[in-house]
Amino acid sequence: MSMRLSTEILVIGAGPAGSAAAHWAARAGHMVVVLEKETMPRERVCGDALTPKAVGHLDDMGLSVTSNEFHRHHGLRMTAHGRSIELRWPTDHDHPSHGLVVRRRMLDQLLLEHSANTGAQVWTGVEVLEPIIEHGHLRGCRALGSGDGTGPGGEIEVRARFVVIADGPLSPFGRALGTARTRTYAQGIAMRGYFPSVHHDDDVIESVFDLRDNTGEQLPGYGWVFPVGDGTVNAGVGLLSHHHANDPRSMRELFDQWICQIPEYWQISPEDIESEPEGGRLPMGASVRPRSGPNWVVVGDAAGSINPFNGDGIEPALSNGRLAATVIGDAISSGDGLELRQYEKQLVSNYDHYYRLGRLATKALGRPGLMRRLTLLGIQSRVLTELVMRISTNLVNNDAGGTESVYEIGKVIARLVPDRD
């Protein structure tokens, strides 16, 4: 006989988006249940670097992370064609002027524990099997507990008024409800590993934009080295998986090539890798539709919300989660389920132009030779490099100078260019 449970809000998945939604909903006084199929802590493919905007979300949640817990970075070094430009994070905006580097296994556990401390009921080791659909309406889910986490073992049935779908890039629950990725939009693929480095506590992160394959061809992507502060650095590579006839690459082969190309400054030896590298696909650019239904919303990677400019999924996930909790809270308070329409409307209002411009950028960078020409031009100008840094990390809102003007021009161009192939 299965265990049965009822709640106001069911959150499926306990990554940054799901935990953020659970925190904000529980903080508003709502009854929240979180189901996560894995036990914590668990690994995730990630660069581990949080932008200043992401750190601002943590501050808003009441997570005051000190430099003793996680490594702070104060800028970005951009490298291409043998040249580097180092930039500090802007101070002319509403977010902190520093970022963090924290292993995802630690970040996800911290966020989930924080949502539990706020009042959410968290069950790990519980795999959601299928939605419960009655008379055409989503009523909850059926799940199976392993008994290895904080949740019970055996069959579980959870009934809920509202559901937040945060089950990752493959999103089996979302697909069961009819969500789908727009396949004409570029998708990213990435792989990362951890390596000992004497510069593990540097206060800048580095991105290298002249990534090449074994023939010397420049690829549409970048490599990174992010100091973790614990004796290691997170080194990885991200690439557009397919666009304008770019065939999917073997990620392990590309990763191994990149590790041999890492700037000598970091003193990394390929044979010193901490464990086998891990890789995965990154649904980018708001590529999933629909993102909401009569009583459900999709957040984070499940919604394809990864930033198409730089592959950052953490900041959009934290933002999505908060918005989802706010809109669902309004629906509960008003008794009007139509309030959930505001989720899609606000996503479009807040992000549509940005993601559309990002999709245009990925389309352009997928053209052979263009990546090389643009990086050659950009790395010779500190002004252009700072422009790229601000736009790619979405730190342009309060910039009254040239960056904001260029960004506005870019949005106009993006509206005029067809968004699909």
For position 2, what pLDDT does the model report?
Answer: 78
What is the CATH architecture of 187-281?
2-Layer Sandwich (3.30)
More confident residue, 375 or 112: 112
**pLDDT tens column, 107-132:** 999 999 999 999 999 999 999 999 99
Q: Does 146 score more than 70 pLDDT?
A: yes
Pairing of strands 278-283, 187-196: antiparallel
Q: What is the band of 338 on the pLDDT scale with cuts at 50, 70, 90?
A: confident
Q: Does 368 score more than 70 pLDDT?
A: no
For position 273, what pLDDT does the model report?
Answer: 96
pTM: 0.93
For position 218, what pLDDT does the model report?
Answer: 82
The full set of domain ranges for the chain reads 3-73+99-182+284-353, 187-281, 356-416
Cα–Cα distance between 13 and 38 in angstroms, integer?
9
* Mean pLDDT of the residues in the chain: 89
Over residues 291-298, mean pLDDT: 97
Q: Does 413 score more than 90 pLDDT?
A: no
Alpha-carbon dihedral angle through residues 400, 406, 409, 414, given to the nearest 10 degrees = -120
Over residues 311-326, mean pLDDT: 97
Over residues 322-345, mean pLDDT: 94
Place of tokens 């614990």: 230
| Winning range, highest mean pLDDT, from 80-94, 236-250, 362-376 | 80-94
Q: What is the band of 243 on the pLDDT scale with cuts at 50, 70, 90?
A: very low
Over residues 132-161, mean pLDDT: 96
Which one of 3.50.50.60, 2.60.15.10, 1.10.10.60, 3.40.50.2000 gives the CATH number of domain 3-73+99-182+284-353? 3.50.50.60
Q: What is the band of 212 on the pLDDT scale with cuts at 50, 70, 90?
A: confident
| Cβ atoms of 128 and 141 closer than 8 Å | yes
Over residues 317-324, mean pLDDT: 98
**pLDDT tens column, 174-206:** 999 999 999 888 889 999 999 999 999 999 999
Q: Does 246 score more than 60 pLDDT?
A: no
Strand partners of residue 204: 75
Q: Does 104 score more than 60 pLDDT?
A: yes
Q: Does 408 score more than 70 pLDDT?
A: no
DSSP structural state of residue 29: T
For position 120, what pLDDT does the model report?
Answer: 98
| Cβ atoms of 300 and 179 closer than 8 Å | no
Q: What is the band of 363 on the pLDDT scale with cuts at 50, 70, 90?
A: confident
| Cβ atoms of 57 and 20 closer than 8 Å | yes
Q: Which of 309, 114, 300, 291 has the alpha carbon at shortest distance from 222? A: 309
Q: How many CB atoms lie within 10 A of CB 61?
A: 20
Distances (CA, A) of 316 to 248, 253, 286, 306, 349: 26, 29, 10, 7, 14
Q: Does 217 score more than 90 pLDDT?
A: no
More confident residue, 245 or 335: 335
